Structure 1
Amino acid sequence: MTCWFSATAVVPELTREWALTPAQAGWLTNGVQIGFVLGALASSLVNLPDLMRMTRLIAISALVAASANAVLLFEPGWSAAVIARFVTGIALAGIYPPAMKLMATWFRRGRGLAMGVLIGALTLGSSMPHLFRAVVDGLDWRLVVSLASLGAALSAAIFGLMIREGPYAFGRAVFDPGRALTIFRDRGVLLANLGYFGHMWELYAMWAWFLAFATAAEQGGAGPFASPSLFAFLVVASGAVGCILGGLLSDRIGRCLTTAGMMAVSGSCALLIGFAFDGPEWLLALVAVIWGISIAGDSAQFSTAVTELADPRFIGTALTLQVSIGFALTVLTIWIMPHIAAALGGWRWAFLVLIPGPAVGAWAMLRLRGLPEADRLAGGRG
């Protein structure tokens, strides 16, 4: 997952060298999002998870992601770079959804924690380009891109040589538009999806633009860490801790309370971080890290809930629809954030636009908790 935000992490350098506008810089991230959405739908339409072993599909996709990401090293210009980011997103669609299904084949009990660990790995991998940039600060930005591609290539070797599917296989993952309508008429699955959509409204916009926020805060005198890149890495990477915590809580107190609680905290942080923008530095760091933990901590549990609520024959369809629509929403929020920041005269209050997402998501999960369908979640814990 190191390729996801590799361009985002070096946007300041690319903006300067390629003379990019803020909107053009945003498309270096949005290209990945759109590619991911279309790639996820296409892979399900042609039934790739059934035509190929999931481990082989993931390994090949990781190699494609590494190669497409490496195109940036040749400085192809903005248009070609966006196309390369689009291809990177398509390749990542061959990694993330199949990996969720692959993890689920190993667990019946403790699936919430297992999925939490998986999404924690996704979160940590997504944050790594910010760490690379912090470590090589002052050196060529191409080193950050090279390290991201190397990480993806290494993961291809791991999946290709060291991993196999588990003993608890699901049915065939066929995308059928007619059955998709049936899935959305299932009120339990629908509410779980609404929770996920609210979560996604907030998550990737925060991840994509926190470096810009941190840079603006440092310029205003509040830089709690050595550099904005290190600050962004710590905030995004802290989500890995949140994912494991969310998995533990979800298996113990239920999916609905865990996800609603996480979204209540993350939505509050989206509000409070504006007040902490100009310090004190310890307060800005505290709010940001709590936000990083809570904004990702519930991510895996929405997918886990769908594996428990949906018709077992159509788990692949349900997961693909959930992920595809959720990531489609991120295209809008990633695109709109710099426009909001420009309209408000800076990044201090820009994250306020994210608050409706966790508010709607928390309502949906609490509504689900009051329905009989919740008895199928987390072994009856709701």
Structure 2
Amino acid sequence: MKPKFYILPVIILSQFFCTSLWFAGNAVIDDLATQFDFGFNILGYLLSFVQFGFIIGTLTFALLTLSDRYSPSRIFMICALLGGLCNLSLLIPNITVFNLLTARFGTGFFLAGIYPVGMKIASDYYKGGLGRALGYLVGALVLGTAFPHFINEFSWSSDYTAVIVSTSFLALFGGLSMWLLVPDGPYRRPASKLQLGVVTQLFSIPHFKKAAFGYFGHMWELYAFWGFVPVILKTYANQQGIELQISFWSFIVIGAGAISCVLGGLISLRKGSRKVAYNSLLVSGVFCLASPLLFLLPPHAFIVILCLWGMVVISDSPQFSTMIAAAAPPELRGTALTITNCIGFAITIISIQLLSFLNDKIDNTLLYLFLSIGPIIGLYKLRRL
């Protein structure tokens, strides 16, 4: 059964609108910081609390098999609404550090009902060519992640609240669109009951386990890189004594990954998901190892190489998700995607905190060598798949 023509565009746009919540706090970190005397690196904490909320959310969703037992479109809508409200709470007058971090945790928690559930909805509609569909979908995630930087750079208002308000209302619109226009897909196989042993069951499947560990290696690098793109740009600008539009170029570098996700999805139709994932992870690992040389390049070459890194760092993600979905039983596909997201994002906290800790301890140009750990492990697992 062929899906109606508008199904995939609605899923893509809804994913884009709702995932704009992810880096909304990160995009306005300098404005938020003026309200507090932190005495510590708030960037790492803002990033990690979103990730931590996402981990707890995905763990809850996975253990309760929510997206396999109930309508995923309805779950998506509810989580988009609640995530938007958590994001809006950043605008509470005289907000405390505790409330700030709690708001980001809540946003991350409800993103667990958006990102993996969106992939679950796509897998319920597209059995053949899932790699291409997820390429579009993860491309939407990339643009959504980068979008707060775009709003911050080109906002009609110099007030940072425009970023928060815009992303919150986009999330609400995306959630309602998914609920109203995308019913349960033809390939959905609802789980009949709660299955608390589902995680052990999934990791006993050899192909699932190897694909999942490849994904975990990819995640070690991805969000630490995304979160530190503004730091990379600032470090280069300070060393070269030049001015860079940090928010604009952060949007470009992160957003470039949307192109590679789409291209990778199209290539996967001919070459297969494993080959696309392997080559993407290999090239991004090389960029990690060569990262100290990045800061020695002239400005134009620096921007081009950084954009290329931004492309290959994410182009493997939809293909890993495709392999994971294909290896899981149909009635547990949503839970399989959710639990691997849960573990993958737990790993991102470690890499983000490692870079935050080392930021003041070593030369900043050497920081990103540590991101190569993930690709090395991921490549080893993929060679055995």
- Regarding TM over 0.5, the answer is yes
Q: How many Å separate the matches in 1 of 2:163 and 2:311? A: 24
Q: How many Å separate the matches in 2 of 1:271 and 1:229? A: 25
**1:173 touches 1:314 (CA, 8 Å); kept in 2?**
no
Change (3 A) 1:174 1:293: farther
Q: Secondary structure at the match of 2:365?
A: coil
Cα RMSD of the aligned pairs, angstroms, is: 2.0
Q: Secondary structure at the match of 2:158?
A: coil
Q: Secondary structure at the match of 1:56?
A: helix
**2:138 touches 2:261 (CA, 8 Å); kept in 1?**
yes
Alignment partner for residue 115 of structure 1, among 128, 134, 138? 134
Q: Secondary structure at the match of 2:186?
A: coil
Please list, as runs of the form range in 1=range in 2, the aligned pairs for 1:84-123 lying within 5 A after superposition. Answer: 84-123=103-142
Q: How many Å separate the matches in 2 of 1:289 and 1:33? A: 24
Residue 319 of structure 2 corresponds to residue 264 of structure 1: no
Give the aligned residue type for 1:299.
S
Structure 1, gaps ≥5 residues long: 369-382
* Residue 367 of structure 2: aligned partner: 350
**1:175 touches 1:317 (CA, 8 Å); kept in 2?**
no
**1:23 touches 1:335 (CA, 8 Å); kept in 2?**
no
* Residue 177 of structure 2: aligned partner: 158
Alignment partner for residue 376 of structure 2, among 359, 367, 374? 359
Alignment partner for residue 304 of structure 2, among 286, 311, 335? 286
Give the aligned residue type for 2:60.
A
Please list, as runs of the form range in 1=range in 2, the aligned pairs for 1:229-240 lying within 5 A after superposition. Answer: 229-240=247-258
Q: Secondary structure at the match of 2:240?
A: coil
Change (3 A) 1:24 1:245: same
Change (3 A) 1:161 1:36: same
- Quote the offset at 1:161 in angstroms: 2.2
Residue 210 of structure 2 corresponds to residue 191 of structure 1: yes
Please list, as runs of the form range in 1=range in 2, the aligned pairs for 1:322-337 lying within 5 A after superposition. Answer: 322-337=340-355
- Quote the offset at 1:73 in angstroms: 1.2
TM-score between the two structures when normalised by the length of structure 2:
0.90
Question: Deviations along 1:109-147, whole A, 9 cap, x unmatched?
Answer: 111000111111011101101111111398122222222
Structure 2, gaps ≥5 residues long: 1-18
Q: How many Å separate the matches in 2 of 1:197 and 1:143? A: 35
Q: How many Å separate the matches in 2 of 1:228 and 1:78? A: 25
* Residue 299 of structure 1: aligned partner: 317
List 4+ stretches of structure 1 deviating above 4 A: none
**1:265 touches 1:294 (CA, 8 Å); kept in 2?**
yes
Q: Secondary structure at the match of 1:166?
A: coil
* Residue 44 of structure 1: aligned partner: 62
Deviating more after overlay: 55-64 vs 45-54? 45-54
Q: How many Å separate the matches in 2 of 1:51 and 1:196? A: 25
- Quote the offset at 1:223 in angstroms: 5.7
- Quote the offset at 1:22 in angstroms: 4.3
